[in-house]
Amino acid sequence: MIHAGTREFQATGISVQRGEVLVPRLIGFDARGVLSCGGAPFVAGSLIRKGCQVRLAPVPRCDDPSGNDATVFLSTWQQDDGQTPTLAAVTAPQDKLAAAQARAAVEEWTAAAGARTVLAGPSPWCSGAVSAIEACRGAAAAYAGTAHTVRLLTPVPMPPESAAELATLGAVEVTSLTDAQPGDVIVIPAHGAATEIRVEAAERKLTIVDATCPLVAHAQDKVSRLADRGQHIALISQPGAAATGPIASRAGGRVTVVESVAGAGTMHAADSRQVSYMVQPGMPVEAAAGIVGALRARYPSARDPLPGGTCYAPSDRAATVRTIAAGSDLVLLLGSAQSADIRQLAAQARETGVKVQVVSAIADITPAMLTGVSTVGMVESTSAPAVLGTEIIAALAGLGPLTVARRQVSTEVSGQPG
């Protein structure tokens, strides 16, 4: 890679206000044609962090050096594949402060240029969640503009863009059916709904769209059958898990929710020979192992009635994160730093000793983060905008040759749950 240095020149045909920095997405010259500035969002992000007023836009024509409408800071370099990556920033003439900031942003990102590999993870949404989102979208579209309201029973895990789309279609999120009117639609989310909710929906003459994950629905049915046979069920769960209530509600009181090894040690069943245990769908199987061991030590005859109905999605996702982290110099976790999902992903990635950065917007990425980094791991959380990963990959490609590899650990299950 041959870098020609940062050039500064005056140009005509570009309108830039004093105090503003224009960051071109592409820039055109008579002699050289149009050059793509793929790393423009990174340059813009540096300027935004410095408090600059920034405008991202194409500059299809830049006449050099026949006038002084604007000051251009331009950096180009030649790659082995013949491509010419370009970074640029444009300020009003004689705007010394903006000019200094523009030059610095171009130079620092030029210094961070180089060939890299991105190890990208899959979508954070499991098949059950995706199906539920589609069911919500289908119901909202079908009833948009009618007299009937589509009510989404919370919590409804979904990408921010999907939530915004459903809101524009008139769907509302609800925690109860108190305000529902006959003919309204209630969408049951992937984690299911308690028995009393279904009964109330029928009494209120609501249309039910059941988007319960098949694994959760199977667990509900199994719990109901076990309870009918006099079994006491230990439902192994995580604190705050949304599916706990809907599954437990089917047991008619013959259930104990166990969230820790200590809880397993204090669980009481009237007949120790009539105990079954079940790992709630959505809980990583490895996280349940200690609890299962403690239960079986207390109730040796306890058995798992649902071995074929195990949900491996959380375990596969955790293994994917660790695999990506182990092969990376830096892991970018996409989403909100306040998200519980991000915190869990960060803990999993840091188990490998890799450096982790939470990125909620492309402007969060700095040149210092990429210094000395040749392999970037990228993992999306459930709070990440759907386009963020694509934007980051495109911007990294604007800094030099980029290879993108997709990594995913996946458990394949044969047969059907009993």
Q: Is the pLDDT of residue 209 over 50?
A: yes
3-state secondary structure of 104: helix
pLDDT at 308: 65
Please give the CATH number for the structural domain made up of 118-123+313-406. Answer: 3.40.1010.20
Q: Is the pLDDT of residue 409 over 80?
A: yes
Q: Is the pLDDT of residue 267 over 70?
A: yes
Q: Is the pLDDT of residue 414 over 80?
A: no
Give the pLDDT mean for 8-16.
85
- Report the C-alpha gap between 199 and 194 in whole angstroms: 9
Amino acid at 147: A
Give the pLDDT mean for 245-255.
94
- Report the C-alpha gap between 213 and 285 in whole angstroms: 17
Q: What is the pTM of this model?
A: 0.87
Q: Is the pLDDT of residue 2 over 50?
A: no
- Report the C-alpha gap between 53 and 21 in whole angstroms: 6
pLDDT at 155: 86
Give the pLDDT mean for 257-267.
94
Q: Sheet containing 185-188: which strands, arranged edge to edge?
A: 172-174, 150-153, 185-188, 207-210
Mean pLDDT (the chain, rounded) = 91
Q: Above pLDDT 90, what percent of the chain? A: 78
Farthest CA pair distance, the chain? 93
Give the pLDDT mean for 98-120.
95
- Report the C-alpha gap between 256 and 241 in whole angstroms: 14
Confidence class for position 1, pLDDT limits 50, 70, 90:
very low
- Report the C-alpha gap between 137 and 150 in whole angstroms: 10
- Which of 271, 290, 270 has the alpha carbon at shortest distance from 279? 290
Q: Region of 70 please: left (phi>0), alpha (psi -120 to 50) or beta.
A: beta
Q: Is the pLDDT of residue 104 over 50?
A: yes
DSSP state of 270: S
- Report the C-alpha gap between 62 and 72 in whole angstroms: 9
Q: Is the pLDDT of residue 134 over 80?
A: yes
More confident residue, 64 or 159: 159
Residue ranges per domain, the chain? 2-112, 118-123+313-406, 215-309
* 24-58 confidence digits (pLDDT tens): 999 987 666 888 999 999 999 999 999 999 999 99
- The percent helix, strand, coil of the chain (3-state, each to 5) is 35, 25, 40
Q: Where are the beta strands (DSSP E) in 121-269?
A: 150-153, 172-174, 185-188, 207-210, 232-236, 255-258
* 187-197 confidence digits (pLDDT tens): 999 999 999 99
Please give the CATH number for the structural domain made up of 215-309. Answer: 3.40.1010.20
Confidence class for position 201, pLDDT limits 50, 70, 90:
very high
CB 47, CB 90: distance < 8 Å? no
3-state secondary structure of 381: coil
Confidence class for position 6, pLDDT limits 50, 70, 90:
confident
